[in-house]
Copies of this chain bind each other. A is one copy, B any other.
Amino acid sequence: MLSTRAQWAAGQPIGELMAQALQYPELVSLAAGFVDNATLPCAEVVACFEQLSADASRLRASLQYDTTAGSRSFREVLAQWAYHPWPQARPAVEQLIATAGSNQLLHLITEALIDPGDIVVAAAPTYFVFMGTLKGAGARVFGVSSDEDGMQIEALKETLEQLDGQGLAKRVKAIYLVPDYDNPAGSTLSMQRRQELLELVERWNREKGALVVLWDNAYQLLRYDGEELPPLSAIEPSCRRFVVELGTFSKSFAPGIRVGWGVVPSWLLAPVLEIKANIDFGSAHFNQVLMEIALRDGLVDAHLPAIVATYRSKRDTMLTALEESMGDLPGVQWRHPRGGLYVWLTLPNAVDAAESGLLWRIATKLGVLYVPGVYCFPTEGYPPQRNSIRLSFGVQSHEGIRRGVQMLSQAIRQTLTATV
């Protein structure tokens, strides 16, 4: 009775993780990807609404439908704001689409590009919710090895060459990256790799056919140290013909308002908008108007330092707690993210951190939840690492982070003892 797609979409980690959270509400969760309630911009939203309600005709207009691509005046302000550091990369407003979070745009692009059996190449590990979308469309996802500097472009090149050698060049539709402070690994694609990526994809598009780069910048503004690295369009504006750049206010402002966006290559614009027109003929206009006011009045920019300071100090708390409680454990390593919400932990090879493994049983018994890293690996290409864990420092208090890491340390020690 159900569609093939429903069967493909079944049993995604996001569903299992939510079920866990419900099953173990009393545990310290280092799993949830929610943002910190304390960072939510209450005063800013009140100020936006007050300004809106003072302008009767604008308020009225905000309650009406707008176009499928979104409010033009919002997108004009957004184009200015999002590319303020890189004016050479500022997109034409026609190429900018407002969506229900950047996640909806990932879905629309998938619909527009992917036939069953088509291939997307992603970092291993990568953002697991998007893998669910890809799986639901019948895509094959190939993982490419990555490190603290993000996807290894040499390995990407080898993967593409192998696929080409198997006669699959035309089936490779997209490369997916979270370039800054990624989910789940907290890594950032280095400047050198950005340039190498551009060259590689440029050449592929010239020689082999259309290959899109999905540049998912969800965490771009959550930067705690290090310099701000440019998006691909700021390095080479002409890459707009094969790059989709995605952004969202869900991390940098408020997920409850759920406004995201993307810059879409001209040739992909009509298909994406046609699909969106069938689904919702445009995301909530009211929310776009609120975000337009927030941008115009500098409320997003003014609020951001508080968000960054909160998460920076939570990240430091987590890194310190890891050092103190696991620094002595051989084979236990973690990355030091320069932004974002996640720390990626690797355990000795013998430890299976998946839900079926011993560590999970002990950890949940002791009182801590984490995301098994194995969820974040594509099913083909670079092999899934069952000894990995994604930790989030977004939601927990400092005390919760310390207690959670402490319990996890105990669980790892008990698992290692039982495993040896």
A14's nearest neighbour on chain B, judged by CB, is B277
> Cβ of A285 and Cβ of B258 under 8 Å apart?
yes
> Cβ of B42 and Cβ of A56 under 8 Å apart?
yes
Q: 1/0 per position for A317-341, CB-CB distance to B under 8 A? A: 0000000000000000000000000
Chain B residues with Cβ below 8 Å from A30 are none
Asked if A18 is an interface residue, CB under 8 A from chain B, the answer is yes
> Cβ of B42 and Cβ of A12 under 8 Å apart?
no
In the assembled complex, the CB of A281 is this many whole angstroms from the nearest CB of chain B, namely 7
In the assembled complex, the CB of A4 is this many whole angstroms from the nearest CB of chain B, namely 5
A212's nearest neighbour on chain B, judged by CB, is B1
- CB neighbors of B among A10-29 (8 A): 10-12, 14-15, 18
Asked if A261 is an interface residue, CB under 8 A from chain B, the answer is no
- Per a CB cutoff under 8 Å, which of B60, B107, B210, B273 touches A278? B107
> Cβ of A132 and Cβ of B277 under 8 Å apart?
yes
Asked if A67 is an interface residue, CB under 8 A from chain B, the answer is yes
Q: How many copies does the complex hold?
A: 2
- CB neighbors of B among A102-122 (8 A): 103-104, 107, 111-115, 118
> Cβ of A6 and Cβ of B132 under 8 Å apart?
no
**Which of A84-92, A249-257, A410-418 is the interface stretch?**
A249-257
Q: Give the complex CA separation of A287 and B42 in angstroms.
A: 15
Chain B residues with Cβ below 8 Å from A267 are 1
> Cβ of A1 and Cβ of B209 under 8 Å apart?
yes
> Cβ of B46 and Cβ of A63 under 8 Å apart?
no
- Per a CB cutoff under 8 Å, which of B64, B107, B257 touches A286? B257
> Cβ of B1 and Cβ of A111 under 8 Å apart?
no
Asked if A361 is an interface residue, CB under 8 A from chain B, the answer is no
Asked if A420 is an interface residue, CB under 8 A from chain B, the answer is no
Q: Give the complex CA separation of A101 and B279 in angstroms.
A: 9
Q: Give the complex CA separation of A405 and B259 in angstroms.
A: 40
Chain B residues with Cβ below 8 Å from A46 are 53, 59
A36's nearest neighbour on chain B, judged by CB, is B64
In the assembled complex, the CB of A127 is this many whole angstroms from the nearest CB of chain B, namely 11
Chain B residues with Cβ below 8 Å from A209 are 1
> Cβ of A18 and Cβ of B107 under 8 Å apart?
no
Chain B residues with Cβ below 8 Å from A280 are 100-101, 103-104, 107, 258
Total residues of chain A contacting the partner, CB 8 A: 77
Chain B residues with Cβ below 8 Å from A34 are 64-65
Chain B residues with Cβ below 8 Å from A104 are 279-280
- Per a CB cutoff under 8 Å, which of B10, B42, B59, B258 touches A283? B258
- Per a CB cutoff under 8 Å, which of B64, B111, B129 touches A5? B111
> Given A115-B3, A115-B4, A271-B10 in contact, is the A103-B62 Cβ separation under 8 Å?
no
Asked if A82 is an interface residue, CB under 8 A from chain B, the answer is no
A173's nearest neighbour on chain B, judged by CB, is B1
> Cβ of B281 and Cβ of A14 under 8 Å apart?
yes
Q: Give the complex CA separation of A285 and B259 in angstroms.
A: 12
Chain B residues with Cβ below 8 Å from A111 are 3, 5-6, 9, 136
- In the complex, besides A6-B274, A49-B53, A133-B278, 15 extra interface pairs with C-beta distance below 8 angstroms are A1-B267, A5-B111, A6-B112, A14-B281, A49-B49, A64-B256, A65-B250, A65-B256, A100-B280, A100-B283, A100-B284, A256-B284, A256-B286, A258-B283, A284-B287
What are 21 A-to-B residue pairs whose CB atoms are below 8 Å? A1-B113, A2-B112, A2-B113, A6-B275, A9-B275, A10-B271, A14-B277, A15-B277, A34-B64, A34-B65, A40-B63, A40-B64, A41-B63, A42-B56, A42-B63, A49-B49, A63-B255, A103-B280, A136-B278, A257-B284, A287-B287
A: residues with CB less than 8 A from B are 1-6, 9-12, 14-15, 18, 34-35, 37, 40-42, 45-46, 49, 53, 56, 59-68, 100-101, 103-104, 107, 111-115, 118, 129, 132-133, 136-137, 173, 209-210, 250, 254-258, 267-268, 270-271, 273-275, 277-281, 283-287, 289
